[in-house]
């Protein structure tokens, strides 16, 4: 089986053929560090972390690079507003970034280069463009001459004239063409600046990613990723300046995730309709947020809604409950020796194949998550069938291997944390004293609702607990509860 992915450059799905057999070189644009990350930032971070995990699952050696833009107009303006040094502000939000993405299960990249640490490489690349006649200097600024690169517009699929007519370009009489963009900006009072052949200044936005990706991944590396909002102008400009300098292809495959919308409108800081991950973590776990972000195919728009988040929370709780019951059934006897009985081994193979088929087909995480639920349903059915009975050696092998398969899928999707032994961490409902007290409170609320003949509220409590794996039984002696599918330990 081969991995196929959608290449933005060719606008079609292609078989993935790496530059070097068995290795993947991958660069993903990281955040501009002037604020906490929002949900729109989080989507590519979670998705490309999953892509990196799946390549590793497929036995590729992955070099994953994700940058930080720590020199930028937005950082300078925010630092000015807060009376803080721009570099100190950027450092602070880099640290906050790692706090938030750790909650989302995003693993650190192999390298996290910062713009401020790569000024010599940026200057070298700009110098090459100047020497080749692809850039020109005006008043200490260095600008890329867009029309000097014949392929400009091929990533976004538009011609230069179309881009010019549709773009909001500030009129600058110093430019040879309105689409020309800054590679190097002359220093202004109070801004970070470095010495260069063109005087003191700082990099433009686009040149930084070209310089850092080429330094760490080399020419014609495999995958460049980011959000769809980066296709133009950032990635279009990045491609143009890089190929103008290299005179050969810059990247083999370009991948872009779809927008997150709120009420069908793009989520963005400029529109003021964005949700900070830090704020969402006050209401939902990082696992739920990651689950939400992977629940839709990455190229499709994903509309944010609190009701959808609540639904994801309940769905995740059902998965956790199934895994928890599986672990409870196995107890300490977790040996997988011996074959799974009957067709059980074949069934588990079919789940693995379905999972791989989904991920091989342009990293379809939505379909992969569905396989997890199908596996949970099969495990629940097996546990229910053997409730109160001892498992045979073959049946126990089936359960053990089902647990291994949950772990394998989770290594790719990263939805659940794992403990030191590699087992998925499952916080069972009603597993500690605080949860017991909360359940007691809910049962009291339900009992009072029943006494008022408020059947809607009583049913809402019952059904909500059932979704969390808690079954209520009304008896003449009062209500009793048990975990769904509870069985005797073997």
Taking residues 433-437, report their average pLDDT.
56
- Measured distance CA(70)–CA(114) in Å, rounded: 6
Same domain, 407 and 446: no
Domain residues for the domain of 328 are 316-413
Same domain, 363 and 445: no
Same domain, 298 and 325: no
- Measured distance CA(204)–CA(241) in Å, rounded: 12
Confidence of residue 335 (pLDDT cuts 50, 70, 90): very low
Q: Coil, strand or helix: which one is 286? A: helix
Confidence of residue 415 (pLDDT cuts 50, 70, 90): very high
Considering 384, 413, 442, which residue would you say is the last residue of a domain?
413
Burial class (CB in 10 A: 0-12, 13-18, 19+), 309: middle
Same domain, 33 and 130: yes
Q: pLDDT tens, 219-228? A: 999 999 999 9
For residue 398, pLDDT over 90 is answered with no
Same domain, 226 and 120: yes
Taking residues 171-190, report their average pLDDT.
91
What pLDDT is attached to residue 163?
Answer: 78
Confidence of residue 332 (pLDDT cuts 50, 70, 90): low
Taking residues 425-435, report their average pLDDT.
54
pTM reported for the whole predicted model = 0.85
Is 308 within the bounds of a domain?
A: no
For residue 349, pLDDT over 50 is answered with yes
For residue 165, pLDDT over 80 is answered with no
Is 168 within the bounds of a domain?
A: no
Is 170 within the bounds of a domain?
A: no
- Measured distance CA(17)–CA(253) in Å, rounded: 10
Same domain, 34 and 87: yes
Same domain, 468 and 405: no
Cα-Cα-Cα-Cα torsion 365, 370, 372, 373, nearest 10 degrees, comes to 150
Which residue in 159, 142, 140, 141 sits closest to 150, CA to CA?
159
Same domain, 297 and 327: no
Q: pLDDT tens, 264-318? A: 777 766 677 778 999 999 889 999 999 999 999 999 999 998 889 999 999 999 9
Q: At which residue do the structure tokens 């989080």 appear? A: 42
What pLDDT is attached to residue 244?
Answer: 98
What pLDDT is attached to residue 268?
Answer: 67
As for how many domains the chain has, the answer is 3
What pLDDT is attached to residue 464?
Answer: 82
Is 373 within the bounds of a domain?
A: yes
Spatial neighbors of 220 by CB under 8 A, at least 6 apart, are: 19, 248, 249, 250, 251, 252
Which residue in 241, 229, 205 sits closest to 76, CA to CA?
205
Phi, psi of 402 (to 5 degrees): -65, -40
Is 187 within the bounds of a domain?
A: no
What pLDDT is attached to residue 164?
Answer: 73
Same domain, 219 and 289: yes
For residue 337, pLDDT over 70 is answered with no
Q: Are 5 and 363 in contact (CB under 8 A)?
A: yes
Considering 271, 302, 333, which residue would you say is the last residue of a domain?
302
Is 195 within the bounds of a domain?
A: no
Considering 270, 302, 334, which residue would you say is the last residue of a domain?
302
Same domain, 241 and 363: no
Same domain, 131 and 264: yes
Same domain, 91 and 127: yes
Report percent pLDDT > 90 for the chain. 66
For residue 433, pLDDT over 80 is answered with no
Is 425 within the bounds of a domain?
A: no
For residue 216, pLDDT over 50 is answered with yes
Q: Are 45 and 101 in contact (CB under 8 A)?
A: yes
**Mean pLDDT lowest for which of 59-68, 162-171, 308-317?**
162-171
Which residue in 192, 213, 189 sits closest to 203, CA to CA?
192
Mean model confidence pLDDT for the chain: 89
Spatial neighbors of 173 by CB under 8 A, at least 6 apart, are: none
- Measured distance CA(277)–CA(286) in Å, rounded: 9
DSSP state letters, 385-431: HTTTSPPPHHHHHHHHHHHHHHHHHHHHH--S-B-TTSPBP---TT-
Confidence of residue 177 (pLDDT cuts 50, 70, 90): very high
- Written as six digits, the tokens of 436 are 């017991």
What pLDDT is attached to residue 341?
Answer: 53
Q: What is the CATH number of the domain that holds 344?
A: 1.20.120
What pLDDT is attached to residue 477?
Answer: 65
The listed range with the strongest mean pLDDT (12-16, 275-279, 422-426) is: 12-16
Confidence of residue 425 (pLDDT cuts 50, 70, 90): confident
- Written as six digits, the tokens of 239 are 């491609």
Spatial neighbors of 361 by CB under 8 A, at least 6 apart, are: 4, 367
Taking residues 452-477, report their average pLDDT.
82
Is 364 within the bounds of a domain?
A: yes
């Amino acid at each position: 089986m081969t991995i196929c992915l959608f290449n933005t450059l060719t606008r079609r799905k292609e078989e993935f053929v790496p530059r070097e057999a068995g290795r993947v070189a991958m660069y993903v644009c990281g955040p501009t560090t002037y604020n906490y990350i929002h949900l729109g930032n989080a989507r590519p971070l979670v998705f490309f972390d999953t892509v990196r995990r799946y390549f590793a699952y497929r036995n590729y050696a992955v070099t994953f690079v994700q940058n930080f833009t720590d020199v930028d107009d937005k950082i300078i303006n925010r630092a000015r507003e807060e009376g803080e040094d721009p570099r100190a502000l950027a450092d602070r939000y880099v640290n906050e970034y790692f706090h938030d993405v750790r909650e989302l299960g995003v693993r650190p990249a192999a390298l996290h280069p910062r713009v401020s640490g790569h000024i010599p490489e940026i200057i070298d690349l700009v110098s090459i463009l100047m020497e080749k006649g692809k850039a020109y200097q005006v008043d200490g600024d260095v600008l890329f001459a867009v029309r000097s690169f014949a392929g400009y517009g091929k990533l976004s699929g538009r011609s230069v004239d179309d881009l010019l007519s549709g773009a909001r370009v500030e009129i600058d009489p110093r430019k040879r063409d309105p689409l020309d963009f800054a590679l190097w900006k002359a220093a202004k009072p109070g801004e970070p600046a470095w010495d260069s052949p063109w005087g003191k200044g700082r990099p433009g936005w686009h040149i930084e990613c070209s310089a850092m990706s080429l330094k760490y991944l080399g020419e014609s590396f495999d995958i460049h990723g980011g959000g769809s909002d980066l296709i133009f102008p950032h990635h279009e400009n990045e491609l143009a300046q890089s190929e103008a300098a290299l005179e050969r292809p810059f990247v083999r495959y370009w991948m872009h995730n779809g927008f997150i919308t709120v009420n069908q409108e793009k989520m963005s800081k400029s529109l003021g309709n964005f949700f900070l991950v830090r704020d969402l973590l006050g209401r939902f776990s990082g696992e739920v947020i990651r689950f939400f972000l992977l629940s839709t195919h990455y190229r499709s728009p994903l509309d944010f809604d609190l009701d959808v988040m609540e639904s994801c929370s309940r769905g995740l709780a059902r998965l956790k409950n199934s895994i928890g019951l599986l672990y409870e059934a196995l107890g300490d006897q977790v040996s997988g020796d011996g074959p799974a009985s009957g067709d059980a081994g074949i069934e588990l193979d079919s789940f693995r194949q379905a999972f791989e088929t989904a991920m091989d087909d342009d990293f379809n995480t939505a379909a992969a998550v569905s396989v997890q639920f199908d596996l949970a349903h099969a495990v629940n059915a097996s546990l229910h069938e053997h409730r109160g009975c001892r498992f045979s050696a073959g049946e126990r092998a089936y359960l053990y291997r089902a647990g291994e398969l949950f772990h394998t899928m989770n290594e790719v999707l990263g939805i659940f944390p794992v403990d030191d032994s590699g087992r998925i961490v499952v916080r069972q409902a009603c597993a500690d004293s605080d949860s017991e007290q909360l359940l007691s409170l809910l049962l009291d609320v339900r009992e009072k609702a029943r006494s008022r003949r408020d059947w809607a509220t009583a049913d809402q409590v019952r059904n909500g607990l059932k979704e969390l794996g808690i079954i209520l039984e009304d008896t003449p002696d009062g209500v009793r509860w048990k975990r769904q599918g509870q069985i005797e330990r073997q």
